[in-house]
Amino acid sequence: MSAHAAAETAPRARMSGVDTAWLRMERPTNPMVITGVMTFRKRLALPALKKTIAERFLVFDRFRQRPVEGVAGHYWEKAAGFDLERHVHRVALPRPAGKRELEEFVSDLASASLDPAQPMWQFYLVDGYRGRGSALVSRIHHCYADGVALMRVLLSLTEAMPAARRRRSAGGLEAWMPWLEPITGAGMKMLEWSGAFWRGYFELLLNPAKALQYAQTGGGFLMEAARLLTMSPEPATRFRGKPGLRKRIAWSDPLPLEEVKAAGAALGCSVNDVLLCAAAGALRGYLAAHRDPVDGLEIRAVVPVNLREPESAEQLGNRFGLVFMSLPLGIANPLQRLYEVHSRMQALRHSPQPMLLLGLLEFAGQAPLAVHEELLQILGSHATAVLTNLPGPQRRLHLAGVEIDEQLFWVPQSGDIAMGLSLLSYAGQAQFGVMTDAGMVPDPERIVGRFHDEIRALRKAKPWKKSG
């Protein structure tokens, strides 16, 4: 029997609507791939890495499967002739094999789609990074899992503690964007909408005028859906446009997390407030350096929000919602900008958007492709960037016997969204990463290079009494 025939007769598992939605979002201009980078000051041996992946990554059967389309929808199918050698690669960087060369390599990878004929994930071991070190780049298609689940998977590769303790200690990941209320059982029931709601939503999708009517007279989730559909388009900036095929990635040097905490404590705001304010300031500074108008400018970022209940914390798949966060780039004063960010984050604490958009993604994954495309186009026009903020482990971890020095993480952008922003803390340090379209922003290093200065400006600021 041929490999293809064997795969056709292998058992299949139905793919969820949400996972299908992320699979369908794949575009040559925006591959739906979650990219991670780990750096090491010492050499990571390839045999030890492969052994770790075989024993700890492949315990998830899903990573031996590939997504396939059938007559009745999409399925997970075991890949015939699975071979780990196809998924783990050793590479070398051009000299001097430093941060700039690694950023170029990760940019090349982020510009390419994964092979759908195989399980859609890859690891790349970079030898000789910064002389005697190594780097590990992971690429996993978003249809396999969301960022919280994949961070857990990557943590499971480490040797810091036994598996049971590893699960408990990773609990901080449940606080992905912790300024939002955690989901409850009652909240989950709100996701179990009737067919009547979906018919009503579909009518809204096809009839924006009626959506406006609902926004004025409706209530609850239906009103929130109408608001999403009637949201004003994003302003024209060099951060927006039709993406091309080439991505650019850059990240800041590590910043002591104590500096961020000290700034937040002194100014009466959270660590997240400070990090988001600094990111917004870095984006503002980049535009101002190009003499682009910035006064009064606001851009929206789509922010993933973890909706996993504790019992599903160890499962793959996508269980997250989204909120639209307006970043006040138009505020020049860093302290005023910080308090505005704080106020907006507080206002989002009880937002129904995450659960609403998780439900819409489930619906989109099961709807005809034309409906899925229309939804993607509408939502994509309402944001300039995708922003993730992951609180990682706060003590040093080891992978295959070698201590991890830095960890970085990017989720993909969908539709015509051309920028990804990443804030991640690990082992007492924080880093800011940016993924851009090379045709729009060819030098994201000039954005991340402003991040430390923005944090320092907040540390020097004197607090004032906040309104409200």
For the segment 275-334, what is each residue's pLDDT rounded down to a tens digit? 999 999 999 999 999 999 999 999 999 887 777 665 555 678 877 777 889 999 999 999
The residue extents of the domains of the chain are: 3-171, 185-460
Measured CA to CA, the distance from residue 441 to residue 437 in angstroms comes to: 6
Q: What's this model's pTM, rounded to 2 decimal places?
A: 0.85
> Tokens 């409706």 — which residue?
218
pLDDT in tens, 343-367: 998 888 777 676 666 666 666 666 6
Most confident of 224-233, 364-373, 412-421: 412-421
Q: Is the pLDDT of residue 1 over 80?
A: no
Q: Which residue has the higher pLDDT, 221 or 399?
A: 399
Asked if 3-171 and 185-460 have one fold, the answer is yes
- Beta pairing partners, 133: 129
- CA nearest neighbour of 317 among 363, 357, 362: 362
Find the mean pLDDT for residues 375-383: 77
From 1.10.510.10, 2.40.30.10, 3.30.559.30, 3.30.420.270, which CATH number describes the 185-460 domain? 3.30.559.30
Architecture per CATH, domain 3-171, reads as: 2-Layer Sandwich (3.30)
Per-residue model confidence as pLDDT tens digits over 119-162: 999 999 999 999 999 999 999 999 998 887 888 888 889 875 44
pLDDT digits (tens, 9 = 90+) for 57-87: 999 999 999 999 988 889 999 999 999 999 9
Model pLDDT for residues 163-221, shown as the tens digit of each residue: 444 443 333 333 333 333 344 443 444 444 433 344 455 555 556 555 555 444 445 55
- Residues forming beta bridges with residue 208, ordered by sequence position: none
Residue 12 CB partners (closer than 8 Å, separation 6+) = 68, 70, 75, 76, 77
Among all chains, which residue has been given the structure tokens 């029997």? 1
